[in-house]
Structure 1
Amino acid sequence: MTTPTAPRPVLVVDFGAQYAQLIARRVREAQVYSEVVPHSMPVEAMLAKNPAAIILSGGPSSVYADGAPSVDPALFGAGVPVLGICYGFQVMAQALGGDVAQTGLSEFGGTVVDVCEAGVLLANTPSQQSAWMSHGDAVHRAPQGFRVLATTAGAPVAAFENREQRLFGVQWHPEVKHSETGQTVLEHFLYEGAGLAPDWTPSSIVDDQVALIREQVGSARVICALSGGVDSAVAAALVQKAVGDQLTCVHVDHGLMRAGEVEQIERDFVASTGVRLIVRDEKERFLTALAGVTDPETKRKIIGREFIRVFEDAQRQIIKDAGEAGEDVKFLVQGTLYPDVVESGGGEGAANIKSHHNVGGLPDDLQFELVEPLRALFKDEVRAVGRELGIPEEIVGRQPFPGPGLGIRIIGEVTEHNLDILRRADAIAREELTKAGLDQEIWQCPVVLLADVRSVGVQGDGRTYGHPVVLRPVSSEDAMTADWTRLPYETLAVISTRITNEVREINRVVLDVTSKPPATIEWE
């Protein structure tokens, strides 16, 4: 039997760019698989990944500054197609013998690019086009053997290529939507320059993952952590397609769910998939473990630890039910996504922004081998895979909800009283957003209870000293970046009025109007 293999990646080498993740997304939009790696990764390690191509990202440094990130020139002689973008373009030029220096004319934002030769990258694009720039240095002379494709007022060499060596570069940011032909330039590199086919599709992802899951699991039994959200539902459906009734799903009612969600999971998911589902009522266990805890990282780690302990209990029960002849439960399925890995510091050199309960929160003595079929995917790709698997739109199109649930939407201690307050406020916000037809216009709308904050108010001619809640409506493609959603004032007014009228413990409703970055979507 042939061992299934993962697709060859296009590696996006991150030089500290704010857009590195965006480059990876744009490559995937071209239906080509991509991964982000740090510039500190040795060339040998990059090549060991058997990359189909390499893209060097932008970055904030000057290539000639002391300690500036660089790249081993051996990369350019390895026979792998390479595209340099912004700082990556300058690094490539310098490493191959070109000249990089300040021109005295920095370019930021929309910039006119004059095309002097189309070549591979700029074929069938306008001779003069707008592109998004962000640079103070510029390439003054291209390396020997390279053809100059474009110039700007501040960049004598704004694009070049050496088609024979399959080396290409642009000074601007083609991954940014403000670049008029940006996606076309990336696709020219991928399809023409690197000779890749657009075969990273939902159907191919399903086929690849089913084969990989079967290879990993064999005849062993598997349990799946089913939260009821999109990620765990799609992960469960993939594993069920691969190994059938070897899978048992376990939903842990940790007491941190929103109003009505446990019942919805039992009703809708089982009806749509026919999967075997066990529901564990563990409210008391989680609330006891979280008592007195206010630090968000500690909350996440406690929730992750207790999840695993519950699954270990479920494992013993499933083995007992199977009898002596039953296969052992060796594997735990999780709906871990690529953004979870990156934000938890698992993205090969990435910073730890926050530990997701299913990544940084796992205990060291984990008794299972993890099955994570979505670990390489962004959220929109997960939804596409779910639709390919035939999961109902009510589940696939659901707004994201974090695994730790309302536990990380309470700023302060997680108590039954605080959970009750937040559930009632959250239910009102969700109901009014649905009534206004806004469910598809926002990525999600966390409602955050500031349990550690009180403010003076007046209700019924009397003084109150209640809690504020924060509405956090955001728009996003994949949760790596987000902007706050401009909800209609009328809808905000109804939500605010209903919450303060119907949830007496709350006397103030505020709106979070911060993008990501600098903030994250969830407050904790």
Structure 2
Amino acid sequence: MRPGALPPFASVFAQRSKEIAVPEVTPAQKVVVLDFGAQYGQLIARRVRDLHVYSEIVPCDVTAAELAQTAPAAIILSGGPASVYADDAPTVDPAIFELGIPVLGFCYGQQIMAVTLGGEVGHTEAGEYGPAQLTRMGESRLLDATPGQQTVWMSHRDAVRRVPDGFVVTAATEACPVAAMECPERRLFATQFHPEVRHTPFGNAMLSNFLFGVCGLERTWTMDGIIDDAVAAIRSQVGSDRVILGLSGGVDSSVVAALCARAIGKQLTCVFVNHGLLRKDEPEQVEAVFSKQFDVDFVHVHAEQRYLELLAGVTDPEEKRRIIGEQFWKEFFAVAEQLDGVKFLAQGTIYPDIIESGVRKTGGKASTIKSHHNLIPFPDGVSFDLIEPLDHFFKDEVRALGTALGLPDPIVHRQPFPGPGLAIRIIGDVTAEKLGILKDADAIVREELDVYNERLFEETGERNGPHAVWQYFAVLPDIRSVGVMGDERTYARPVILRAVESSDAMTADWARLPYDVLARISSRIVAEVPGVNRVVYDITSKPPATIEWE
């Protein structure tokens, strides 16, 4: 269908998209994680997927009937911060334990299993936080082939005092007499410790014992199978219709484009809105990949000058974001108006977006999409069905998909980059001169720290190992500083270097870069970037700071 006429955009961005059901395509064999508010909830699902078994997270208040409709092969109960005896403590439907489906509980998951089935949980005299020495007690299907004495990761104050009828205690620590319990006949297992964290060295062995020994699952969640299933699902949904995609050059939208290209080829139109705020050489790289490597229609919208005019004199970062977001959709829908037969819009929503927006997918129902950062505010008269082929994948899985689909490493392993681009790494108003300075300085930062990270990888074999830099970039503040170059006084701009160590951006610490690396970056920027006479290094962690400056 052809999108209708667009309304004035002043009102468009106060609207929400119409509620659209998303077709759900998941493997027949899956593990569900009941989330009781655990800080490790997503980590549990990822660890299961690391073992090549598909898993997804559902709210802890899901009913047994809803679960039965989806026919999971196994259930894992996550940890959580509450006390099981608190008035507002999350509970679990007791009928879940009568479904005949194997259940494994961690921390709060063990406690809620115990009290639901007739056991007792109490408040211990001393909490247990961090590493603890675990001692196995007798036979255990869950702990099979793990050492009799081993280190596990604890984080609790409450603990099981009395196990339910039919359960046996299979492990203990000095402070926790019931560190693990199980009822093999009913295939119910639980631990007070956290097998899903790396600080429990034999945690993966325990998960493997449960998934493959107890549940009899197979390692079917492989990259080849994932791609085949995703391509088939896209073809089935799209049929002979056409699809449009707003391509940013980031990993999520790029992987969606590559998947759709494999599935439907020229039925896909990729619209790349070049606002001029990407990093140096990135627009050219995006065009080269998607106009030459993949057989899709690629539309490169050169909007650089329009953005500069709109941003002229704007210093407030939130106003910058608003202008950039509004103009993006103006540019995008202007192209959409010119295309005939476009029924679907593809976007790079990933699984954490779904989880964090509270969307619930249980009971065989495809829930309506709620507000999350990829949700597009359709104007009146514009109607698309959504295709979100990554909405079951975590970020690391998306990157692996990108590599398997043939995307180049600079796109697959692209660092986190704000939607408004360099506009919020320029403090103050955005001009062509400032953009040129920042792009050149930032390119030097990335080039030098790419080399540094590669050297660490060769030494350690880990991509994000100790001392590796997770994110790094340059910031251009709205000040000038006095300097001297060639025996002459200068009054030029400083550049701020930001480099942090992190794994998920929730927290971050400034990177302890070697002095020779810092010196080389500083010398190169001052020598190679006209208009810069000083480089400073931001040594603030998150919190109290954020990674970005605006």
User: TM-score if structure 1 supplies the norm length?
Assistant: 0.85
* Deviation at residue 42 of structure 1 after TM alignment: 5.1
1:147–1:305 CA distance, 2 compared to 1 (3 A): farther
Q: Is it true that 1:6 corresponds to 2:54 in the alignment?
A: no
Query: Who is 1:145 aligned against?
Result: 166
Letter in structure 2 aligned against 1:332: L
Q: Is it true that 1:427 corresponds to 2:440 in the alignment?
A: no
- C-alpha distance in structure 2 between counterparts of 1:314 and 1:102, whole Å: 62
* Deviation at residue 172 of structure 1 after TM alignment: 0.5
Query: Who is 1:376 aligned against?
Result: 392
Query: Who is 1:471 aligned against?
Result: 498
* Deviation at residue 506 of structure 1 after TM alignment: 6.7
Query: Who is 1:232 aligned against?
Result: 253
**C-alpha contact (below 8 Å) 2:63/2:96 kept by paired residues:** no
* Deviation at residue 257 of structure 1 after TM alignment: 0.9
Query: Who is 2:514 aligned against?
Result: 488
- C-alpha distance in structure 1 between counterparts of 2:46 and 2:548, whole Å: 22
SS at match of 2:338: helix
- C-alpha distance in structure 1 between counterparts of 2:276 and 2:311, whole Å: 11
* Deviation at residue 396 of structure 1 after TM alignment: 3.2
Q: Paired residues, what number?
A: 504
**C-alpha contact (below 8 Å) 1:4/1:211 kept by paired residues:** no
Query: Who is 2:150 aligned against?
Result: 129
SS at match of 1:200: coil
Deviations 1:335-378 (A, max 9, x none): 332234445x35559xxxxx97524x645656322222122212
SS at match of 2:179: strand
Letter in structure 1 aligned against 2:520: V
- C-alpha distance in structure 1 between counterparts of 2:293 and 2:114, whole Å: 55
- C-alpha distance in structure 2 between counterparts of 1:401 and 1:289, whole Å: 21
State which drifts further: 135-144 or 399-408: 399-408
- C-alpha distance in structure 2 between counterparts of 1:48 and 1:495, whole Å: 58
Identify unmatched segments of 5+ residues in structure 2: 1-22, 362-370, 458-462
- C-alpha distance in structure 1 between counterparts of 2:335 and 2:216, whole Å: 49
1:398–1:480 CA distance, 2 compared to 1 (3 A): same
* Deviation at residue 284 of structure 1 after TM alignment: 3.5
State which drifts further: 394-403 or 49-58: 394-403
Query: Who is 2:5 aligned against?
Result: none
Query: Who is 1:324 aligned against?
Result: none
Identity %: 51
- C-alpha distance in structure 1 between counterparts of 2:242 and 2:180, whole Å: 54
* Deviation at residue 448 of structure 1 after TM alignment: 5.0
SS at match of 1:255: coil
1:245–1:24 CA distance, 2 compared to 1 (3 A): same
Query: Who is 1:509 aligned against?
Result: 536
What is the 5 A alignment of 1:84-483? Answer: 84-288=105-309, 290=311, 299-300=320-321, 302-319=323-340, 328-342=341-355, 345-346=357-358, 348=360, 357-359=373-375, 362-363=377-378, 365=380, 367-436=383-452, 438=454, 441=463, 444-449=470-475, 451=477, 454=479, 458-459=483-484, 466=493, 469-476=496-503
Identify unmatched segments of 5+ residues in structure 1: 320-327, 350-354
Letter in structure 1 aligned against 2:346: V
Query: Who is 2:367 aligned against?
Result: none
* Deviation at residue 118 of structure 1 after TM alignment: 3.6
Query: Who is 1:498 aligned against?
Result: 524
1:272–1:496 CA distance, 2 compared to 1 (3 A): same
Letter in structure 2 aligned against 1:250: V
1:11–1:289 CA distance, 2 compared to 1 (3 A): farther
* Deviation at residue 246 of structure 1 after TM alignment: 0.8
Query: Who is 1:57 aligned against?
Result: 78
SS at match of 1:106: strand
SS at match of 1:407: helix
SS at match of 1:509: strand
1:318–1:523 CA distance, 2 compared to 1 (3 A): same
What is the 5 A alignment of 1:67-86? Answer: 67-86=88-107
State which drifts further: 38-47 or 173-182: 38-47
- C-alpha distance in structure 1 between counterparts of 2:210 and 2:429, whole Å: 52
SS at match of 1:183: helix
State which drifts further: 102-111 or 309-318: 309-318
* Deviation at residue 83 of structure 1 after TM alignment: 1.4
